[in-house]
């Protein structure tokens, strides 16, 4: 037989596009349309429904950027349509290729009842099935004219990302407002042909099945009368019955489809718009669940559920009903799908505490999976946090975006820094927006790396990013793919069911140890510096607020601010969403974030000051409150007292120009350019810096990545560097222990103050940058005379090591990485640390000098200036604090990292304040002291081993103890945990490396 595949396939495409799809709606009549444009921000539903609209015609422009327009559509079903299925077709001006990224609508009845959402892939509203004829139709559409930020030519700077700069030009053209007859038989024919056509394209050319399908499709097309598609659709479908009924082979890959709508809690839209996106999507999904008995939909991010509850109670009622039926499934157990690299230890824990508690309180449901399909890499401390929250699984898809190396597994156990292993799945479909296309499912089967030992994967199915969710077309396709020869099998299942089956099938999968590093989006560790500073400082203010409020509550009866702390925590957690904290959202989002962080700082400082005042009492004794987890200048951790003074610092003129600072521990030389040319460790009799290489050096790179401006920094940025060595002025500080340097470069200015305080083993670097560059990358470099093949980087509840070399492509790909408060590197007998108060991105490189020595250079990332999606990213004044700590062991790095983030607070009072809880080993770091969330008055203390070794320690409570219970993160007793030995107020603990423990202390 002659090969006519191309002929039949081309025929299928044209007939589908030009004859069969248009016949789905064979008859239509226009609706009358009127519109009211809400002034300013969105209005309550009742106000929108009550407004008086003005007539508008199809073809008219509408919708200023970020505006809200209330359309009223009215009409009557023609009498001649009696007995038929009728739908309203409501096209606001959609581009079908941009679901979630443009205008959207939520349809209401006149009584305010939500019907369903409108988006580019969901433009219909069912009127009746069947209709009687003559029915009056009256619908209202709350339409959001969200502008297109990421267009076909992506990453173009635009003022549309903030309502303050977006202007008022209408964004959309009203395209279609009709009543139409819906021919379900033709619609089913469309789905039959789409499924078979997509399947056929994925089968081998020489496969019998491909030719069987091809001939069936050809017979089907022969049976369609192109002048009477509606009258011949059933006859055409009959030609496909046999090929659609052929069952899958027993070895077919099995796909668990999970209805899904990944909704970014903010990205190319502000937070307030996400509230409405969630309402539209949940309205659609609850309606779809009523129509499709096998469909299951899962939604993560407790914050989004809370928004529905607060802002759309009528939608919430439908959601609760569907949850009770087990088909609308809470997923993930986190407050938001957060970034996991940058959130601190407690914040990462609280993501699970607040997320899981919401689902428990509202539905009595506990999640056992972390659901993070789009997060930009995963910190090595995360597995034990997942376990400590009572969960045991992780799902993500994002690692498939890595540019350099392909991850070797799709199902595996992920081992964190303490040895905890979490059963993890990367869906091989390689998208969290699966639409049940044959190419997607075939890719999942081909791509699956665990063949031979497993054959089960998950497919998050539905339009996402900007929402929309699963469509009836996807469900219809899945029904055909449930058991179809040549295709993976498809079944709708909740995440828990998938994970249970996958783990049973593959009980001993391979193990991946350490971080799950995304080889992409590395610049998100630096973009939008103010957002990152707001996060870091909010985390530490929350620590202080809980610590001092709990101490004051136990000691003085101070009213513990449960509700205020709960609200603030949830706000901070929201802003850790994986496009807010990473700095990849529009200008509006970050403008609001800056204001929010400032407001939270004011509120938290108020709580701290009130609690400290209650603790200090009346008096004139000078007190220093130490919120760090280590004793500082004689003041105990978590207490207050009068600090001890130690030594003094001298400043001298340097031979050849510049200054010398010395305090008996360190001798620091700063040359006439304001560069640190020597840091001599007096105690160790050793120079920290390599010959001729200054520290505290600012370096400027061009920064224009190939894609994803705010997200990416590409390796070639290093090819060009400008050392900022010219100084405008270098002057000695009046305090006798600092030097001030000012520099100018481009359109920007920088001031650095280098300080060496008495008795300290750290050189403090305060940097203020008035930044007015674009597409530039600013780094702060510390070359060190250290031979180290690896360095330590702080992460949640510990640290982990990365190599300083680039032996393999995996190591070379980590040319920009994340740390929290410190970086540490050492050779036997001597090390050094670089600590910071608000930066995350860094790089570490090593070279061998002509003298045979090794230079290992730590460079912290300060600022970028991408122009998309915020064209004014980080313009203005920024302040950073870093310190170089020569001679530091890992314990010194841990201590100094906490210290620089928790500055002392000074008050006068009656006398010393004893800590509420102490640990007698520096390796045991207490990350939280608080009152139990249930209001019982119990004290909760969370701590971990921070040095990477085993330790024994004694915790001492500063109050009489009645009982000590080991709990999970949600403060619930762990049934299999052995109680620690208690002697009076002393609690003996033994910890493995990096082990995390939460204790609940009941007061006597």
Q: Count the residues in the chain.
A: 1004
Query: Which helix (H) or strand (E) covers residue 677, if one does?
Result: strand 676-681
Tokens representing residue 459 in the block? 């497919």
623 SS3 class: strand
Using alpha carbons only, what angle is made at residue 476 by residues 141 and 90, rounded to the nearest 5 degrees? 20
C-beta separation of 959 from 763 below 8 A: no
Residue linked to tokens 């082979």: 249
Q: In what order do the strands lie in the sheet with 86-91?
A: 28-30, 176-181, 86-91, 124-128
Calpha distance 582→886 (Å, rounded): 31
- Is 374 in the active site? yes
Tokens representing residue 611 in the block? 């609690």
C-beta separation of 689 from 676 below 8 A: yes
Please provide residue 783's backbone torsions phi and psi, each rounded to the nearest 5 degrees.
-70, 135
Instruction: Compute CA 822 distance to the chain's CA centroid, rounded to the nearest angstrom.
Output: 22
- Cα 548 to Cα 156, 609, 899, distances in angstroms: 48, 9, 17
Bridge-partner residues for 783, per DSSP? Answer: 857
Alpha helices by DSSP H, 766-914: 809-812, 890-901
Helices (H) and strands (E) in the chain, counts: 19, 53
- Cα 78 to Cα 109, 118, 126, 136, 890, distances in angstroms: 20, 24, 15, 10, 79
Calpha distance 374→379 (Å, rounded): 14
Active-site choice (374, 671, 714, 938)? 374
C-beta separation of 495 from 686 below 8 A: no
Strand ranges, E, within 17-102: 28-30, 32-38, 54-55, 61-62, 67-76, 86-91
Q: Are strands 489-492 and 254-259 parallel, antiparallel or unpaired?
A: parallel
Tokens representing residue 416 in the block? 């964190």
- Cα 866 to Cα 157, 774, 873, distances in angstroms: 9, 6, 6
Half-sphere exposure of 792 (CA within 13 A, CB side): 27
Which residues lie below 8 Å from residue 638, measured CB to CB, with a gap of 6+? 547, 551, 626, 627, 629, 915, 916, 917, 918, 926, 929
- Give the DSSP letter of residue 579: T
DSSP-assigned states of every residue in 296-358: -EEE--HHHHHHHHHH-HHHHHHHHHHHHTT-EEE-S-SSS-B-SSSS-HHHHHHHHHHHHHH
211 SS3 class: helix
Burial 396-423 (b: 16+ CB within 10 A, else e): bbbbbebeeeeeebbbbbbbbbbebbbb
Calpha distance 826→829 (Å, rounded): 8
C-beta separation of 689 from 783 below 8 A: yes
Bridge-partner residues for 736, per DSSP? Answer: none
- Cα 112 to Cα 44, 76, 116, 312, 647, distances in angstroms: 10, 20, 12, 11, 73
C-beta separation of 833 from 896 below 8 A: yes
Instruction: Supply the residues annotated as catalytic.
Output: 374
């Amino acid at each position: 037989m002659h090969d006519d595949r191309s002929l039949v396939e081309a025929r299928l495409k044209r007939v589908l596009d030009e004859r069969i799809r248009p016949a789905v709606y064979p008859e239509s009549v226009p609706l009358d349309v009127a519109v009211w444009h809400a002034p300013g921000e969105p209005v309550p539903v009742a106000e929108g429904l009550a407004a008086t609209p003005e007539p508008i015609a199809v073809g008219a422009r509408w919708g200023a950027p970020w505006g809200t327009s209330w359309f009223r559509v009215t009409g009557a079903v023609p009498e001649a349509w009696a007995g038929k299925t009728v739908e309203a077709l409501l096209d606001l001006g959609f581009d079908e290729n941009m679901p979630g990224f443009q205008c959207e609508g939520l349809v209401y009845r006149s009584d305010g009842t939500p019907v369903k959402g409108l988006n580019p892939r969901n433009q219909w509203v069912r009127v009746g099935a069947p209709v009687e004829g003559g029915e009056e139709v009256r619908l209202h559409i709350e339409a959001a004219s969200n502008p297109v930020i990421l267009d076909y030519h992506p990453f173009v700077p635009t003022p549309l990302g903030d309502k303050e700069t977006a202007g008022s030009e209408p964004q959309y053209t009203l395209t279609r407002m009709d009543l139409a007859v819906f021919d379900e038989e033709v619609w089913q024919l469309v789905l039959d042909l789409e499924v078979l056509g997509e399947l056929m394209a994925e089968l081998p050319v020489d496969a019998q099945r491909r030719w069987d399908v091809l001939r069936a499709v050809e017979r089907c097309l022969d049976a369609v009368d192109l002048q009477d598609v509606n009258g011949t659709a059933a006859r055409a479908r009959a030609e496909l019955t046999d090929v659609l009924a052929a069952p899958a082979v027993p070895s077919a890959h099995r796909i668990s489809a999970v209805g899904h709508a990944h909704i970014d809690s903010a990205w190319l839209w502000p937070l307030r718009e996400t509230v409405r996106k969630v309402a539209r999507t949940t309205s659609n999904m609850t309606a779809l669940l009523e129509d499709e008995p096998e469909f299951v939909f899962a939604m993560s991010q407790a914050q989004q559920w809370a928004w529905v509850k607060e802002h759309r109670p009528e939608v919430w009622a439908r959601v609760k009903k569907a949850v009770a039926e087990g088909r609308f499934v809470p997923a993930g157990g986190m407050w938001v799908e957060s970034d996991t690299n940058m959130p601190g230890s407690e914040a990462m824990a609280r993501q699970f505490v607040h997320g899981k508690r919401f689902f428990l309180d509202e539905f009595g449901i506990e999640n056992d999976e972390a659901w993070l399909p789009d997060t930009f890499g995963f910190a090595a401390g995360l597995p034990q946090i997942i376990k400590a929250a009572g969960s045991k699984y992780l799902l993500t898809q994002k690692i498939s975006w890595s540019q350099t190396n392909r991850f070797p597994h799709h199902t595996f156990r992920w081992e964190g820094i303490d040895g905890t292993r979490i059963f993890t799945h990367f869906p091989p479909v390689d998208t969290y927006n699966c639409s049940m296309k044959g190419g997607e499912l075939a890719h999942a089967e081909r791509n699956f790396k665990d063949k031979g030992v497993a054959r089960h994967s998950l497919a998050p199915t539905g339009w996402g990013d900007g929402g929309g969710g699963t469509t009836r077309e996807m469900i219809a396709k899945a029904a055909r793919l449930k058991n179809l020869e040549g295709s993976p099998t498809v079944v709708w299942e909740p995440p828990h069911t998938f994970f249970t089956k996958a783990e049973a099938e593959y009980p001993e999968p391979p193990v991946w140890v350490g971080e799950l590093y995304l080889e992409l989006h590395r610049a998100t560790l630096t973009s939008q510096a103010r957002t990152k500073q707001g996060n870091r400082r909010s985390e530490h203010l929350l620590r202080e607020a809980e610590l001092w409020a709990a101490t004051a509550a136990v000691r003085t009866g101070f009213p513990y601010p449960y509700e205020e702390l709960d609200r603030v925590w949830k706000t901070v957690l929201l802003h850790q969403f994986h496009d807010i904290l990473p700095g990849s959202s529009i200008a509006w989002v970050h403008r609001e974030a800056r204001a929010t962080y400032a407001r939270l700082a004011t509120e938290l400082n108020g709580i701290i000051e009130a609690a400290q005042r209650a603790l200090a009492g009346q008096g004139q004794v000078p007190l220093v409150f130490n919120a760090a987890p280590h004793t500082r200048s004689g003041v105990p951790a978590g207490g207050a007292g009068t600090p001890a003074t130690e030594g003094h610092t001298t400043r001298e003129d340097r031979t050849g120009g510049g200054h010398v600072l010395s305090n008996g521990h360190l001798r620091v030389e700063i040359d006439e350019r304001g560069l640190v040319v020597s840091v001599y460790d007096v105690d160790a009799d050793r120079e920290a810096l390599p010959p001729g290489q200054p520290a505290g050096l600012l370096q400027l790179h061009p920064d224009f990545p190939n894609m994803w401006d705010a997200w990416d920094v590409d390796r070639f940025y290093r090819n060009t560097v400008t050392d900022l060595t010219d100084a405008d002025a270098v002057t000695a500080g009046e305090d006798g222990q600092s030097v001030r340097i000012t520099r100018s470069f481009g359109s920007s200015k920088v001031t650095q103050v280098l300080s060496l305080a008495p008795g300290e083993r750290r050189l403090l670097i305060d940097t203020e940058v008035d930044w007015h560059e674009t597409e530039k990358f600013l780094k702060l470099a510390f070359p060190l005379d250290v031979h180290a093949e690896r360095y330590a980087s702080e992460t949640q509840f510990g640290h982990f090591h990365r190599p300083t070399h680039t032996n393999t492509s995996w190591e070379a790909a980590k040319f920009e990485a994340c740390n929290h408060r410190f970086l540490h590197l050492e050779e036997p007998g001597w090390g050094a640390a670089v600590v910071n108060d608000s930066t995350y991105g860094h790089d570490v490189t090593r070279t061998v000098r002509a003298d045979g020595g090794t230079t290992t250079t730590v460079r912290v990332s300060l600022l970028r200036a991408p122009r998309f999606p915020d064209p004014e990213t980080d313009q203005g004044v920024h302040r950073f604090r870093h310190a170089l700590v020569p001679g530091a062991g890992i314990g010194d790095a841990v201590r100094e990292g906490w210290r620089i983030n928790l500055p002392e607070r000074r008050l006068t009072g009656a006398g010393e304040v004893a800590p509420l809880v102490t640990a007698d080993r520096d390796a045991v770091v207490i990350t939280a002291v608080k009152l139990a969330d249930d209001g019982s008055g119990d004290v909760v203390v969370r701590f971990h081993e921070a040095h990477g070794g085993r330790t024994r320690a004694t915790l001492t409570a500063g109050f009489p103890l009645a009982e000590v219970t080991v709990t999970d993160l949600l403060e619930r007793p762990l049934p299999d945990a052995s109680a620690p030995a208690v002697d009076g107020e002393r609690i003996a603990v033994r910890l493995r490396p990096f082990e995390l423990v939460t204790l609940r202390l009941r007061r006597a």
